[in-house]
Amino acid sequence: MGQVVAKIETVRTNLIMTNKAREGILAWSKDEHAFFHIQKSFLVHIERMSNSAQGETAITIYFDNVANANLAEKLDSQVAVMNCIVKYEGLLATNFRVISSRVPVRTNRRFATQLEFVTAPKNTVGLPIELHSKIRQLPIAEERSEYVRKRISSWEGYLKIQERDATIEDMTASFSKLSVNEDFSRMTLNCSGLKDNEWNKAKGLSAKFKGSRDELGEVLKVNRANRTVEIELRPYIREQLRKNQLKPKTKEVIFSNFATLSQIRRLRRGFADLEKGLAANANLEKILFEDRPRIQAPKKRAKLEFHNRLNEFQQEAVIGAMSAEDLFVIQGPPGTGKTTVISEICQQNAKAGLRTLVASQSNLAVDNALSRLLSNKDIRILRFGRTESIEEEGKKFIEENVAEYWREQTLQDIEQELTLHASQETELTATLVTCEEELQKLEAQLVVIKEKIVEQQQAKLDYEVITEEVQKLKKILGTYRRELRDLEEHFGEVANKYEQVLSKVEELERFLETNESSEKLLERTNRLANEIEKTRNQLLFRQAEEELAAVNEELNNSRNEYMTWQKNILELHQLQHELKDFTKVDELTDFMKQYDIPMGFIIERQINALEKIKNQMVSYHDWMAVNNKLKAAIDYVEKQMGHAVQIILQQINARPEDSYSSYSIREVHEAIDHMKQFLITQKVVNPAQLKPHLERLYLRRKFVWEQGTILQQLKQEAVRLFEMIKREVIKQTTEVLANAQQKKSTLTNKGMLLKDKQAQLQKRYDQLKLSLSDVPISSNSEQLTAILHKLEEELQHVKSTHQVVLRTIPQLDQMQQQHQKLMEERTTIASDLEEKKLSIQEINSQGLKQEKDLKALEEILEQDFEDQQLQADYAIKKLTEKITKLQHNKAQLPIKQALQKQWYTLLQEANEHDLDEIRKMYVRHANVIGTTCVASARKEFMDNYPTFDVVIIDEVSKATPPELLLPMLKGKKIILVGDHHQLPPLVGDDTLEETLKAIIEESDALEESAELKKLLKESLFERLFKNLPRDNKQMLAIQYRMHEDIMKTITPFYENEDDQLQCGLIDSDNVRDHFLEGHYVKRADHLLWLDMPNEKPYFEEQMKNGKSRFNQGELDTIRHMLLDIDHATEMAKAAGKIKQDERKSIGVISFYGEQVKKIDRLIQQELNLQHLHLRTGTVDKFQGMEMDVIIVSMVRNTQHKGGDIGFANDYRRLNVALSRARELLILVGSTEMFTQRAKQKHARDMYSQLLETVKEQKGLRDQDGNVKQ
């Protein structure tokens, strides 16, 4: 499919030459004028460089060595390169050189333009503004390359790991015989010279003849017994064999890891291409490396007709992908129909004339994606890759098979046509007759339509006349209705006013009836005033009486308080002199409490200090007693020893102070008692025997004397403190006496004031009593106050009522007159209203009749007879054309049939040359090419397919970034399909996490480590899906793989997405019925967890000298379960529920490779399961697969405190494990281990939620398959 190059408008620019640039041109032409006249204009590609030292814009111009035919001929197809400085007056050429044609001239950092260079001196062309503007908008190529180089350096670690694993020594062998199969796709060599351990290593290696540079292909099989090696040949070698051109120089073959290392080289070349700006999508480097890449917004939403039945989410994904400008991301959870979506996008691209690359990390995924396109004749599929790796359905589309496949398909179509030859003329004649009859009917319909048009025109005139009359009636009716509305409003106002006035009249009449007359109210007012005056005087008397009693009482209290203070003062004066004789602290404190003398901080502190000394002196008398006892003992011994005493004293006194010990009272007593005991037991005692006893007594006496001195000092301190306390108490007492004297003086003054007030109150009381001598007073002041208040309120009410009565009488007369007037006005308005309503009814009657006439006319006018005429004319025209075509086809039928027979014969007899021509044409026009990510970088693929309109990469999550880069480089638009909630890729036998950690540990570069840590935390796909705008991504949210009960186990992994995962199976019990009825599995079961006890023999075990683990207890349970399922399948076949030749597909998977090996050994060596199709693998390697039944062996189970669940902590691994089953999912493992003993909280929560889901489906069982609650 050739690319259409848009015509580029020519731009004229002035070109100024430096001597250095001119020297470069002189090597190819006599001068610059001649050189730039080789062509009128040149297609060039301009790249912006770093600014010059003077800050001027620098560019490099690459002359296209294909489009510039004359220049290419002049330069032997090499590429001319010219460095320039952008000046206001034009381009200043600073250098000119010619480089190899292998250097690409088109990159995404250059823009193409058609330039006409004006080299004549003193011209006025200058530099066009448009050209200058485009140059300024270009990125600086060196900066972009450096940016990519830094960011992509972290990916180099992937390749280092692969190189490390792929490095093995070459192996050389001699061969005695060479043979090839019929289609030249495989070669078999009879070899010798390989060592025993080299035979197994040879499989998968590349092979080439010694002395040849060309690789033969990859070793498919080795047979050590027969000494044969079978090689899958490369297309180039196959072609050589067909032409008999393959001539080995020696009888030796070399086996090497060339293919793997070559693959690594291709990956590394992808890095270089991105760095050089060779990506078809100029935005690719930003997509790969920026956290939030800026994506071109879709220009408009595509309107599509779909080829497949798609749900709403699939439709949105296809529409989004077709509308996107440069990138679209599709998240496809397990079983959501990613293949269907990819197929639909390919068909839409083919319809739009676009070429699509479908790539994936694995061949299986590519073939799955292409399998849905086989029936569409508009799509020409080409499958690229190693034949042995491609699935059967994909093999017919590999390059060497496409011609034969196309020939067979075309022959089948022609055969089908040839069988219809006999009936085609009859069918054409019958169709012609039918069409001519239909034409006559249409012409008759056209005559009727024209008559209807004339009738419609008259109806239009009548409609206008009646419409005008209706408008007049509506105008009159409007006026009448406004008048009626005004009358109704006026009537309402008058009626409301009438009701209001009537209500007021009745209210005033009731008021006058219920109240006394004006004269009676005035009389009551005067009587109440007299009563109030009397009551007020009685209240004043009672208040004076009560106030006088209160003053008398207060005066007595003041006298009593005065006498108390006088007594206290006398007692304090007397005791103040006695304080110096107090000998105990308790006497002082009692005194202070009795007379409320404040303790104060100083006194309190001194008493505490005294109490402390008192506690220390408790032992004073004991030390005095022991001192006396010690003195008597020493006196006795001294008397016995005589003069020897002085020597002992001198020796003791000569000892240093710090050599003395301290003793307790008990120890001193014991020393004296010990000496006494000695004296008692010895009948004769000499001085020498007493010496040690005396020394001990002297030492203890010295210590006792020291204690006596200390206690004596404490005693003196106690006496001093007690004296200080007494002085402080005396001081406080003096202050209390001063306060008491002041209080006594205050009470004296208060007494005098109270006596004066008593005299005044007595005088007032006597006066009031005299004035009320003839009035009995039985109430107290409170009662009198209440009576007075009640009388005053009553007086105020009577006065107010009197005033209202005086105002109401004339108001009532006025209201009665207004009432009569409103009643007459209401009667008049009611008469006018009736008259107006009759007039409106008459006009409505006329209007209804006319509107009925209008409706009948409208029905005629609503008919679009002109459109019907156009449709009839169009139908007659199309039918006439069809008849003409049918007549032509009928006439051409013999010719067409003859050609078909000729084509059939030619295709049947097509030779190798013909098929080769068909192959070339098919390859040239293929519009959907499928290959793996790595194969897309092979040289033959790169040469044939440098770019694609659209690149679709499936299972993005399973490919490493370097693998993804290769197909992404080719796509003008890139569509990524994956699921970041499933596992990242395996690098060899290691997980991506293990690989990245290894690379980070080996890396010295901080930037590289930071980039890798970011990848470890968040994959490329996840980052894009999270950060892209809504228009550039879509999640497929309806899954069709799993029974709904199984799906519920994985829905929590997708609960934070914009759309929730749903089940697309209308009746999953029926659609996903496994028909099994056994001990472990019942027909209603779709989700089971066989809970292994957290005890021996169900604990995990670890291989010696290895990291992997296995669990024998789980293996035993799986053994019984597989036998049970096999028997249940046999029973289902016997009952006719499962076909006899069908095998139930069972996948047995585990988180650990060692467990998988033991499961394999169990199935292959111990069990004979005739009704099951079994497949095993680790969870990581099972990603992308699906089976009817999946058994997950969870392995981890221990009681050690340090135990954990390892790989199973990753929710993505659990998601993959749970989502492989269609009909039945069985978990085998310890619920306690995973829900309670896992170290990470998120893991415990995750498995607890899974357990709850299992329990909701009543799927929890013990190790023997019995139901657990």
**Each residue's pLDDT tens digit, 1169-1181:** 999 999 999 998 8
pLDDT at 504: 83
CA distance 104 to 47: 12
| Confidence class for position 413, pLDDT limits 50, 70, 90 | confident
Report angle CA 597, 602, 605 to the nearest 5 degrees.
110
| Confidence class for position 410, pLDDT limits 50, 70, 90 | confident
CA distance 126 to 86: 11
**Can you tell me which residue has the tokens 């079983």?**
335
Percentage of the residues of the chain whose pLDDT score is greater than 70 = 91
Range 821-830, long-range pairs (CB < 8 A, 24+ positions): 822/494, 822/497, 822/498, 822/501, 823/498, 825/494, 826/491, 826/494, 826/495, 826/498, 829/487, 829/490, 829/491, 829/494, 830/491
More confident residue, 785 or 338: 338
CA distance 969 to 450: 64
CA distance 957 to 1212: 11
Give the closest residue to 1205 by CA, choosing from 1251, 1156, 1242.
1242
pLDDT at 932: 85
CA distance 784 to 533: 12
pLDDT in tens, 154-164: 777 777 777 77
- The neighbouring-strand residues paired with 1228 are 1090, 1193
Name the H helices within 863-959: 865-908, 912-925, 939-944
Assess whether pLDDT exceeds 70 at residue 574: no
| Confidence class for position 774, pLDDT limits 50, 70, 90 | low
**Can you tell me which residue has the tokens 């981890």?**
1196
Assess whether pLDDT exceeds 80 at residue 600: no
More confident residue, 531 or 1: 531
**Cβ within 8 Å of residue 805, ≥6 positions away:** 511, 512, 515, 517, 518, 521
pLDDT at 5: 44
| Confidence class for position 2, pLDDT limits 50, 70, 90 | very low
pLDDT at 1008: 54
Cβ distance 1058 to 362 under 8 Å? no
**Cβ within 8 Å of residue 772, ≥6 positions away:** 537, 538, 541
CA distance 810 to 841: 48
**Cβ within 8 Å of residue 699, ≥6 positions away:** 652, 660, 661
CA 746 to mean position of chain CA atoms: 84
- pTM score > 0.75 for this model? no
Q: Which of 271-275, 954-958, 1245-1249 has the highest mean pLDDT?
A: 1245-1249
**Cβ within 8 Å of residue 546, ≥6 positions away:** 780, 781
Residue 47 φ/ψ, nearest 5 degrees: -120, 135
Look at the alpha carbons of 556, 562, 565, 571 in this order and tell me if their dihedral is positive or negative.
negative
pLDDT at 326: 92
Question: How much is the CA Rg of the chain, to the nearest whole Å?
Answer: 59
CATH fold label, 425-514+819-863: Helix Hairpins (1.10.287)
Question: Which of 680-694, 915-929, 1020-1034 is the least confident region?
Answer: 680-694
pLDDT in tens, 474-522: 888 888 888 888 888 888 888 888 888 888 888 877 777 777 777 887 8
pLDDT at 654: 64
CA distance 666 to 1073: 99
pLDDT at 25: 94
CA distance 1001 to 1021: 24
Cβ distance 404 to 949 under 8 Å? no
CA distance 1178 to 1193: 10
CA distance 63 to 81: 6
| Confidence class for position 246, pLDDT limits 50, 70, 90 | confident
Top CATH class, 1044-1262: alpha beta
Three-state DSSP at 656 gives coil
CA distance 834 to 840: 10
Look at the alpha carbons of 739, 741, 742, 743 in this order and tell me if their dihedral is positive or negative.
positive
pLDDT at 7: 65
Report the pLDDT averaged over residues 691-720.
Answer: 76
pLDDT in tens, 802-811: 887 788 788 8
Assess whether pLDDT exceeds 70 at residue 575: no
**HEC-encoded secondary structure of 473-513:** HHHHHHHHHHHHHHHHHHHHHHHHHHHHHHHHHHHHHHHHH
**HEC-encoded secondary structure of 402-468:** HHHHHHHHHHHHHHHHHHCHHHHHHHHHHHHHHHHHHHHHHHHHHHHHHHHHHHHHHHHHHHHHHHH
Assess whether pLDDT exceeds 50 at residue 386: yes
**Cβ within 8 Å of residue 587, ≥6 positions away:** none
Assess whether pLDDT exceeds 70 at residue 15: yes
Q: What single-letter DSSP state applies at residue 1209?
A: G
Report the pLDDT averaged over residues 2-9.
Answer: 57
pLDDT in tens, 837-880: 888 888 888 878 888 887 888 887 788 888 888 888 888 888 88
DSSP states along 840-888: HHHHHHHHHHHHHHHHHHHHHHHS-HHHHHHHHHHHHHHHHHHHHHHHH
| Confidence class for position 1011, pLDDT limits 50, 70, 90 | low
Is 657 buried (19+), middle (13-18) or exposed (0-12) by CB count in 10 A? Answer: exposed
Judged by phi (left if over 0) then psi (alpha if -120 to 50, else beta), residue 217 lies in left
Give the closest residue to 271 by CA, choosing from 146, 139, 141, 155.
155
Q: Which of 361-370, 812-821, 1198-1207 has the highest mean pLDDT?
A: 1198-1207
Average pLDDT over all residues of the chain: 84
Assess whether pLDDT exceeds 90 at residue 36: yes
Report the pLDDT averaged over residues 703-730.
Answer: 75
Q: Which of 777-781, 1104-1108, 1227-1231 has the highest mean pLDDT?
A: 1227-1231
pLDDT at 520: 81
- Work out the number of other CB atoms within 10 angstroms of the CB of residue 444: 11
Q: Which helix (H) or strand (E) holds 331?
A: strand 327-331
Q: What single-letter DSSP state applies at residue 1165?
A: I
Percentage of the residues of the chain whose pLDDT score is greater than 90 = 34
Q: Do 271-296+316-420+909-1036 and 1044-1262 have matching folds?
A: yes
Residue 1172 φ/ψ, nearest 5 degrees: -120, 145
CA distance 889 to 431: 12
DSSP states along 194-262: --HHHHHHHTT-EEEETT--S--EEEEEEETTTTEEEEEEPHHHHHHHHTT----SSSEEEEESHHHHH
CA 403 to mean position of chain CA atoms: 50
Q: What single-letter DSSP state applies at residue 380?
A: -
Report the pLDDT averaged over residues 182-196.
Answer: 87
CATH code: domain 168-256 is: 2.40.10.340
pLDDT in tens, 43-88: 999 999 998 777 899 999 999 999 999 999 999 999 999 999 999 8
Assess whether pLDDT exceeds 80 at residue 593: no
Give the closest residue to 703 by CA, choosing from 674, 662, 666.
662
Q: Which of 88-102, 642-656, 793-807 has the highest mean pLDDT?
A: 88-102
pLDDT at 918: 84
More confident residue, 1083 or 377: 1083
**Can you tell me which residue has the tokens 């006597």?**
766
pLDDT in tens, 1184-1236: 889 999 999 999 999 888 889 988 999 999 999 999 999 999 999 999 999 99
CA distance 498 to 504: 10
CA distance 1261 to 1268: 5
Q: Where are the domains of the chain?
A: 10-138, 168-256, 271-296+316-420+909-1036, 425-514+819-863, 576-767, 1044-1262
pLDDT at 1098: 92
| Confidence class for position 1116, pLDDT limits 50, 70, 90 | very high
Top CATH class, 271-296+316-420+909-1036: alpha beta
**Can you tell me which residue has the tokens 């889901």?**
1253
CA distance 1208 to 1217: 10
Assess whether pLDDT exceeds 80 at residue 679: no
Report the pLDDT averaged over residues 188-198.
Answer: 88
pLDDT at 371: 73
